[in-house]
Amino acid sequence: MENQFFVDAEYLSKEALEKKHKLETNPFFRKNHMEYLPGMEIIESDVCENVMSQMKSYDYFKYTAKDVKAALEHEVCTIEDFKALLSPVAEPFLEQMAQKARLETSKHFGNTVYLFTPLYIANYCENYCVYCGFNCYNNINRMKLTMEQMEHEMKVISESGMEEILILTGESRGQSNVEYIGEACKLARKYFRMVGLEIYPVNTEEYRYLHECGADYVTVFQETYDADKYETLHLSGHKRVWPYRFDAQERAIRGGMRGVACSALLGLSDFRKDALASALHVYYLQRKYPHVEMSLSCPRLRPILNNDKINPLDVHEKQLCQIICAYRIFLPFVGITVSSRESAEFRNGIVKIAATKVSAGVSTGIGDHESKYSGKESDGVQGDEQFEIDDNRSLDKMYKDIAEEGLQPVLNDYLYV
């Protein structure tokens, strides 16, 4: 199904349409999305070629029930088995897939579920991505935390008991340069055992600097692995360069990061092909860098400010469950994160089957953790959120709910010596 919400004129404000018109008359608008911009590091790697050749040749309608049954019987899940498990014909086998996924999760993770929370430190962005609330033409309240505000937010979060934080920014080097993010990592290391980053892609030496500042791992959403569709969704900015984004995880690994995470934003394009490519991205990186911790995220589109029509039109919970179960069967010892984009009911169920990590006490806005965590009014203007979340549970509530399911919530299992 073609996603109809990308008809920009229907959803942009008058002000945004005027800005868009100016953008479209700029000679750099819609610059070749496969062409690197000055300053972007090019690395030699065969990972992209391997992933894309598999994705382009994937015809999920060719698989049969016999293929799915065979995949479920095999001790080791091959790429062909994985393709069968992602196909439409596998949907009637979801219960069997869930049982096998649960067994694999138990083997490699026991009954543990890891908890973390995101901290958005800025929502300025230089990209025009038509589905994102932070896009540079969306009329929202913009904010960038000072170091004092940032430390206050971190202190509030850490006092809740949280030990792992994910630092996020909008994609703006101008407002959130690498040095600013590095200082945020240094602050975070004072309060948290684990520090992750979800920022704009950078070069290898910049990742090395951020690792030295305290970052442990890097998450990058490719958004969609369909390069042609990607071109129509990312109209300007550095993010428009598809191959530079694809290689971000490998540059992070070469920069010394302990772990990386891959993901597509399910619902932007053909979700089955994007799910295949996401997992294969991890699969090929894992074989090239076996010492690195690998994980997958499974986000679906969510409504954004000024455009509540953005939703994962053809990716329903049943399809999402199928994808996550297939991920677990194919990559049994890879971490799988399910975010607060999904409902509490769905997350409660999926952690008993295949997911190993969930967020709690979540805000996708800027500077509002004190009001969210304690009920007190935060000082100053707050920055608007990137997207709407569905699961608003606090850390305490999430911890109790996981424990009541017979699982072991884990705040940290990594010690520096």
Task: Tell me, yes or no, whether 6 lies in a domain.
Answer: no
DSSP 36-84: PPTT------SHHHHHHHHHHT--GGG--HHHHHHHHH-SS--HHHHHH
Residues of the chain with pLDDT under 70: 1-30, 302-313, 368, 370-381, 383-388, 416-417
Q: In angstroms, rounded to a whole number, what is the distance separating the alpha carbons of residues 68 and 330?
A: 13
> Which pLDDT value is given to residue 22?
63
Task: Tell me, yes or no, whether 113 lies in a domain.
Answer: yes
Dihedral (C-alpha) 274, 276, 281, 283: value to the nearest 10 degrees? 160
Q: Which domain holds residue 174?
A: 45-410
User: What tokens were used for 304?
Assistant: 């954004």
> Which pLDDT value is given to residue 377?
58
User: What tokens were used for 120?
Assistant: 């958005």
Assess contact for 401 and 349: CB atoms under 8 A.
no
Looking up residue 225, the CATH number of its domain turns out to be 3.20.20.70
Task: Tell me, yes or no, whether 118 lies in a domain.
Answer: yes
Task: Tell me, yes or no, whether 292 lies in a domain.
Answer: yes
Assess contact for 206 and 255: CB atoms under 8 A.
yes
Task: Tell me, yes or no, whether 328 lies in a domain.
Answer: yes
Task: Tell me, yes or no, whether 221 lies in a domain.
Answer: yes
pTM here?
Answer: 0.90
Buried-state track 366-387, b at ≥16 Cβ within 10 A, e below 16: bbbbbbbbeeeebeeebbbbbb
Structural domain count of the chain: 1
Task: Tell me, yes or no, whether 14 lies in a domain.
Answer: no
Task: Tell me, yes or no, whether 31 lies in a domain.
Answer: no
